[in-house]
Structure 1
Amino acid sequence: MTSPTSSLRSLALSDRYRSDQEDVVANFYVPAFSVATAYSRAVGYFTSTSLALFARGIEAFAERGGTMRLVASPHLNEDDIIDIERGYDVRAVIERATLRELDVEQRETVLDGLGLLGRLIAEGRLDIKLAFVEQEGRIGIYHEKIGVFRDAVGDMVGFTGSSNETYGGLMANFESVEVYRGWVAGDGARALRLEADFQALWSNQTPHLSVERFPDVARNRLIELGANRPQASLPGRDNALTPPPIVTTGRAQLTIPERLTVRPYQREAIESWLTHRGRGILKMATGTGKTKTAMIAATQLANVLRQREEPLIVLVLAPLQHLVDQWLTEVESFGVRPVAVYESSQKWLPIVEDQLNEARMGQRSVVAIVATNSSFAGDKFQSVLSRISQPLLIIADEAHNLGSSTYRSALPPNATYRLALSATPERWFDDEGTDALIDYFGPVVFELGLGAAIELGALCRYLYVPLLVELNDDETNLYVDLTSQIAKRLSAGDSLEDADPDSPMGFLLRQRAGVLGHAEGKLAQLRSDVRVRADSWFQLVYCAEGRRPTEPGDPPGANQLQDVMNLVGNQLQLSAHSYVSETPRAERKVLLRRFGTGDDLRVLVAMRCLDEGVDIPDARVGYLLASSSNPRQFIQRRGRLLRRADGKEQAEILDYLAVPQAGTPINFDVERALLKRELERANEFGKLSKNYEMTLEVLRPLKERYQLMDM
């Protein structure tokens, strides 16, 4: 019989144990096991390793004839859950899952621990049951953590807290346990309540929980193992049960790459975001490392959650597939292999479901998913997203794209942490969409403009060369006619500032921009400029979209991209290649790699590409044959050219501005209003350049003509 000096009451137990102050295992579990005669424990989940660790803690307890009851959650994968929900025999599915876990190849120390459990089961001193949530036809994970010790004189200790009987729960993580001593006033009722909760659980009388006996086949497997394993003493708190080095992607953790230097402004941005409880917008100039900043923030967050034994689900959203590909590479450099969500759901859906289930079971600390905006908004992914109950971080790249009515309605309300990235988060002529982004992600918590980024050395300095090109006679006639029609629309009450792209005014403005963008004189000027730089590598040409506008009834005009490719590749005999939206992703990677070598592909000619997110830091010369009046486009294009690279001291931007011939009879007020928007872009480019005086000198005659000297 247990003496009073070897009872629970004789122990100097605290009411709380916390990893920052003491060893939870050595100061609580081991003393309690040394005097208790009965132990009831409900934990979140079990694996073979966790069962072995459980055995290590109860060896001396078992030698004195102690009895144990253990309730744990079976390690169900997505197939198991689906089978149960479809009505398959529950016990058969649980048996399959349990055997799958026991059949995993184990080290000798784990097998020794499982062997002890088998012997205890054979002697009738250990019983195990498995619990899972079953509610409204859906299966969930049982994740409660309670325990009760009893001794021979009837005293009891109940406890609850963050620890699991797992390697992470008992040995590696930061843990805390609340302890209720039955003989202490105020504690006794709580301890009894925990015991009653466990008894209801053991008797399968807890609403919405299903509790099943440990499968006979698995029980026999353990008993057989116990009979065959030597009865050696199990190791204590040393490295014998420490898991081997992690090599599987499923157990990988986010870590900052060793060769990555975190810049002071990136650290400031992350600290500001964390201060705002993990929500906010980083408004950082293109090329300043928003992607890496976001991944560093995600790593910091994952570290905090891992201390609490909580997983982190990271969902990165990007507008285009090639940006998803870039993010996949970036995330993997931080130690976790992400799942790409685009194209057929048959490729990504099973993987996403399996990894999320592993996170729910505590088998995966980080799940990383990178999705295109369109796949993210699709029904299949939205269904997956709605079922995530673990901490979820949304990282929105080029976040302004999510302000559309379609995408913003798909943003998940269950995302605890939200991080938006954009050099230009404000949506052009869409205050409602901008407000919706701020409402969801939070305010701008950090801003790094282009000028500051250049001063900090995050971006390189640049020369800006505006070039005025006059329209020819045919272009001038068409331009004057379009301007006249625009003036009539303005007189009828239409506005330049908020014209719907699909409205008559929107059509006229696009046609006018097409005339300017496709001005024939730009090709002659481009020939001269490229010939001067024929020996330079890393050159980009941005072409006007579509074809040159023509008078009604005339055949379609020329395609500027084709004209430029003919000029650069055939006439000037420079190695060049087009880069357009139709270029396959695999070919794009090859082109960018060839371009970056500096000895193969001299010029890339783009149309509707090489704007958002494409990483081409080696680019040094940019020819802007056309740019929309949307500030986002020219900001993105400038950012492509200002990224730093080895041997790159500065960039050069040549901006081709088409203007009507001097003396052209045209509506002065309308032309002045339209021209003002284009000069604002040129002024924005010029004011941060190394040669701003040149910009002012070139634009002065035009400003004087249209009375815009105050710009």
Structure 2
Amino acid sequence: MTLVARFEDGTIRLDGDPDPAVVDVLPVEFDDRSRTLRAPAHRYAALRRALDDAGVDYEDRVFDLPSLDLSTSYDLRAYQREALEAWESADRRGVVELPTGSGKTVVAVGAMAALSTPTLVVVPTVDLLTQWRRELETEFSVPVGQLGGGEQRVEDLTVATYDSAYLRADELGDRFGLLVFDEAHHLGGEGYRDVARLMAAPARMGLTATFERPDGAHTVVADLLGPVVYERSVDDLAGDHLADYELRRVEVELTPEEREAYEDAQGTFVDYLRTSNLTLTSGSDYQELVKRSGSDPRAREALLAKQEAREIMMNSDAKVAALSRLLDRHRDDRIIVFTAHTDLVYRLSERFLIPAVTAETGASERRTILDRFREGTYSRVVAANVLDEGVDVPDASVAVVLSGSGSEREFTQRLGRILRPKSDGRIAICYEVVSAETAEERVAERRR
């Protein structure tokens, strides 16, 4: 009896009565409810290979997709062609890891043109949703659908936010032959994984500047999309395809009042660690401290002290003075200022009359600010985290990191904001302003 494979509610259903010996080598499980064999939808390609290798006669009714007429005018750079070829050689599955500003979108557009199959592009933010839709509408003469940002329209080429794709994954699982996940590390999030799990598309491409996650969830992404098949670092591309750059550290001193408050708060925190069997060298230790703070007054005092010390060293008066000097030094350059705290963003915005972008900034206002930054009406902008990734940030030549975490991903994304090649060949500069003789020195080392 010929087996029949169908897509059903985020799974591949296998109807028929295969030889038990064959079932043992297939990536399937028996479903008591339907009395059929099933595999998660994302195992579709593996199931086909297993059936072929076993010499099983089967009928594939999973997809009935049109062939699109897609062509691109992009002239891929050498490394972009290499990335596309590496992905194709890996059975059209895998992650491409390239720095911010190096043209990861171009690699995906090349894949879409090569396959000419219905494609779903999944992105983390509405800003990227708009950017991708505009790009695809310009490049391909076909309608482009949108899921998210107030629209729910499916076309053969569709762009969706992770949230919208998650809500409709089981419904759309047989609608697309190619999945493209921008900022693919987000797919490691517990809920978002289902976007890839419930869809049968055999061709899958992940795009990211920073694949590995501190929580190890990048291994899940590799299982759903394939491993990293091509990677290049900032240093690999700087000079030829990205701007040459310099990293400059500016150390500033706390005022006597800040130093006294910092040492007092830091001392409270360190004293607790000495007696708590916690080292805070791992995320689990910090989670344990937060957990204890709910019932242990000393743990709560230590946690609050740690936060106070962090705010003092990251928002010191000397940092504001250092920024003033840097803004004056680079008065003719386009500058992005990054901080870790929203309060400091507003303080700097008021002090230097710089447009501010925070999580509280509405989408329309943010677009207006970035458009004016792009066209040169504004020459500088200050932001708290929201411009790190998932936003189409106009070209700048100077970044000032006043404060941030020890995350290598965060730092790489911020550096990438100034690395697009400059028409005049100028070198991009990233300043790190660090409070001397504080824990911020170790934070800065970690993120590098």
Q: What range describes the TM-score normalised by the shorter chain of this pair?
A: 0.7 to 0.9
Q: How far apart, CA to CA, are the structure 1 residues paired with 2:443 and 2:399?
A: 21
Report the CA distance shift for 1:414/1:602 in structure 2 as closer, same or farther (over 3 A). Answer: same
Kindly indicate whether the alpha-carbon contact (under 8 Å) linking 2:93 and 2:204 is maintained by their aligned counterparts in 1: yes
> Does residue 325 of the first structure (1) align with residue 109 of the second (2)?
no
Match 1:398 to one of 166, 178, 183: 183
Report the CA distance shift for 1:339/1:286 in structure 2 as closer, same or farther (over 3 A). Answer: same
Which has the larger Rg?
1
Gaps of 5+ in 2: 1-33, 35-65, 292-302
Structure 1 residues 314-347: Cα deviation after superposition (integer angstroms, max 9, x where no partner): 1111111111111111222221332221145xx4
Task: Return the offset for 1:512.
Answer: 3.9
Kindly indicate whether the alpha-carbon contact (under 8 Å) linking 2:128 and 2:392 is maintained by their aligned counterparts in 1: no
Report the CA distance shift for 1:316/1:494 in structure 2 as closer, same or farther (over 3 A). Answer: farther
Report the CA distance shift for 1:595/1:343 in structure 2 as closer, same or farther (over 3 A). Answer: closer
Kindly indicate whether the alpha-carbon contact (under 8 Å) linking 2:120 and 2:176 is maintained by their aligned counterparts in 1: no
TM-score between the two structures when normalised by the length of structure 2: 0.76
Q: 1:447 is aligned with what amino acid? A: E
1:678 maps to which residue? 444
Q: 1:631 is aligned with what amino acid? A: E
Q: 2:324 is aligned with what amino acid? A: R
Kindly indicate whether the alpha-carbon contact (under 8 Å) linking 1:499 and 1:505 is maintained by their aligned counterparts in 2: no
Task: Return the offset for 1:680.
Answer: 4.0
Q: How far apart, CA to CA, are the structure 2 residues paired with 1:481 and 1:584?
A: 38
Q: How far apart, CA to CA, are the structure 2 residues paired with 1:449 and 1:263?
A: 15
Q: 2:137 is aligned with what amino acid? A: E
Q: Counterpart of 1:583 in 2: which secondary structure?
A: coil
Q: 2:144 is aligned with what amino acid? A: P
Task: Return the offset for 1:490.
Answer: 5.9
Structure with bigger RCO (C-alpha 8 Å, 6+ apart): 2
1:513 maps to which residue? 310
Kindly indicate whether the alpha-carbon contact (under 8 Å) linking 1:617 and 1:644 is maintained by their aligned counterparts in 2: no
Q: Quote the sequence identity (%).
A: 28
Q: Counterpart of 1:267 in 2: which secondary structure?
A: helix
1:504 maps to which residue? 289
> Does residue 637 of the first structure (1) align with residue 396 of the second (2)?
no
Q: 1:377 is aligned with what amino acid? A: Y
1:466 maps to which residue? 249
Structure 1 residues 627-673: Cα deviation after superposition (integer angstroms, max 9, x where no partner): 21111111100000111243352212121001248xxxxxxxxx6xx
Match 1:334 to one of 108, 130, 139: 139
Kindly indicate whether the alpha-carbon contact (under 8 Å) linking 1:620 and 1:648 is maintained by their aligned counterparts in 2: no
Q: Counterpart of 2:211 in 1: which secondary structure?
A: coil
Q: 2:242 is aligned with what amino acid? A: L
Q: How far apart, CA to CA, are the structure 2 residues paired with 1:510 and 1:256?
A: 51
> Does residue 568 of the first structure (1) align with residue 352 of the second (2)?
yes
* Alignment: residue pair count: 368
Q: 2:313 is aligned with what amino acid? A: L
Structure 1 residues 137-159: Cα deviation after superposition (integer angstroms, max 9, x where no partner): xxxxxxxxxxxxxxxxxxxxxxx
Kindly indicate whether the alpha-carbon contact (under 8 Å) linking 1:319 and 1:398 is maintained by their aligned counterparts in 2: yes
1:435 maps to which residue? 219
Task: Return the offset for 1:479.
Answer: 2.7
Structure 1 residues 242-300: Cα deviation after superposition (integer angstroms, max 9, x where no partner): xxxxxxxx99732212xx32101101100110111110011111111111111111211
Task: Return the offset for 1:483.
Answer: 3.0
Structure 1 residues 389-448: Cα deviation after superposition (integer angstroms, max 9, x where no partner): x552111111111101121134234121111111111112x11x1211111111110011
1:240 maps to which residue? none
Match 1:581 to one of 335, 349, 359: 359
Structure 1 residues 452-496: Cα deviation after superposition (integer angstroms, max 9, x where no partner): 0114x1110122221111222343334324433245336523342
Match 2:374 to one of 590, 596, 601: 596
Q: Counterpart of 1:656 in 2: which secondary structure?
A: strand
1:609 maps to which residue? 386
Structure 1 residues 95-151: Cα deviation after superposition (integer angstroms, max 9, x where no partner): xxxxxxxxxxxxxxxxxxxxxxxxxxxxxxxxxxxxxxxxx9xxxxxxxxxxxxxxx
Kindly report which structure 2 residues correspond to 1:351-366, keeping only aligned pairs within 5 A, or say none: 351-352=153-154, 355=155
Structure 1 residues 148-203: Cα deviation after superposition (integer angstroms, max 9, x where no partner): xxxxxxxxxxxxxxxxxxxxxxxxxxxxxxxxxxxxxxxxxxxxxxxxxxxxxxxx
TM-score between the two structures when normalised by the length of structure 1: 0.49
Kindly indicate whether the alpha-carbon contact (under 8 Å) linking 1:617 and 1:642 is maintained by their aligned counterparts in 2: no
Report the CA distance shift for 1:314/1:510 in structure 2 as closer, same or farther (over 3 A). Answer: farther
1:423 maps to which residue? 209
Q: How far apart, CA to CA, are the structure 2 residues paired with 1:297 and 1:490?
A: 55
Q: Counterpart of 1:641 in 2: which secondary structure?
A: coil
